[in-house]
Amino acid sequence: MKTKLTLLAFMALTGAALAAPQTFDFKDPKGINNAGFKLDAPLEAINGSASGISGTVTFDLEHPGATKGKIIVATASLMLPNPMQKQHMLSDKWLDATKFPEITFESKEFKNVQTAGDTTTADVTGTFTLKGVSKEITVPVKLTYMKDKLGQRVPNQKGDLLVIRANFTIKRSDFNIMPGQFEDKVSDIIELTLSIAGASPK
């Protein structure tokens, strides 16, 4: 009887450990993680990207709807091909990178969660903070859980990967970025693309 109880307890503990949510770190040693942004403009669209991505996401394959996390983008890492445009973008008139060094998104709730194999799609509602202004937005995301794939990405490390992809739009006027100004030169709508992978070492 004692052996059976011990075995049951061991199985319960192992099961709990396997189903436990994992925390994924999104600081990418390979530098692939990036957030792209695009704004329409008369001569040519303004296309840029940000590489300074960090943050953590807690994910449980058994309960993907309970996913929680925060993704941080370093404002100074925003890059544009034209140096003058970049200088203007980071200046106090536009993003004010010195005063507001981070752009963040913190998830609150997952809705319309659909899981097929290792891939989950959902509409994530959370707080998006840009230039010190926080606003609740809903973003469609795709999460791909890649078991035991960390070693393929980072040699000599065992663990899992979580890939997050998201495409959504925001309005710069909602975040106090030159509201109502220069809309004939730089569109109010900003298209954002997030392609990031987080690691959960074992």
Partner 1 sequence: MKRPLRIIAGVLIVGSIAFWAATGANRGWTKTSVPKKTVDETTGLEGIQWQEKFVPGVDFLGAALLGAGFLTGLSFLSRAKSNNPPIETKQ
Q: Which residues are near partner 1 by CB under 8 A?
A: 30-34, 36, 43-44, 47, 49, 51, 79, 81-83, 85, 144, 146, 149, 152-153, 161, 163, 165, 195-197
Smaller CB distance to partner 1: residue 31 or 180? 31
Produce one character per residue of 92-124: b if its CB has 16 or more CB atoms within 10 Å, e if not. eebbbbeebebbbbebeebeebebeeeebbbeb
CB of 202 to partner 1, least distance (A): 16
CB atoms within 10 A of CB 187: 18
Nearer to partner 1, 114 or 152 (CB): 152
Find the shortest distance in angstroms from Cβ 13 to partner 1: 31
For the chain, how big is the Rg over CA atoms in Å?
Answer: 20
Contacts (Cβ under 8 Å, ≥6 apart) of 39: 45, 46, 172, 186, 187, 189, 190, 191
Instruction: Using the minimum distance from each CB to partner 1, give the nearer residue, 125 or 195.
Output: 195
Shortest distance (Å) from residue 34 CB to partner 1: 5
Shortest distance (Å) from residue 125 CB to partner 1 = 24
Least separation in angstroms between residue 77's CB and partner 1 is 11
Residue 129 or 143 with smaller CB distance to partner 1: 143
Q: CB nearer to partner 1: give 44 or 184.
A: 44
Task: Classify burial at 38, counting beta carbons within 10 Å of its beta carbon; exposed 0-12, middle 13-18, buried 19 or more.
Answer: middle
Strand partners, 109: 125
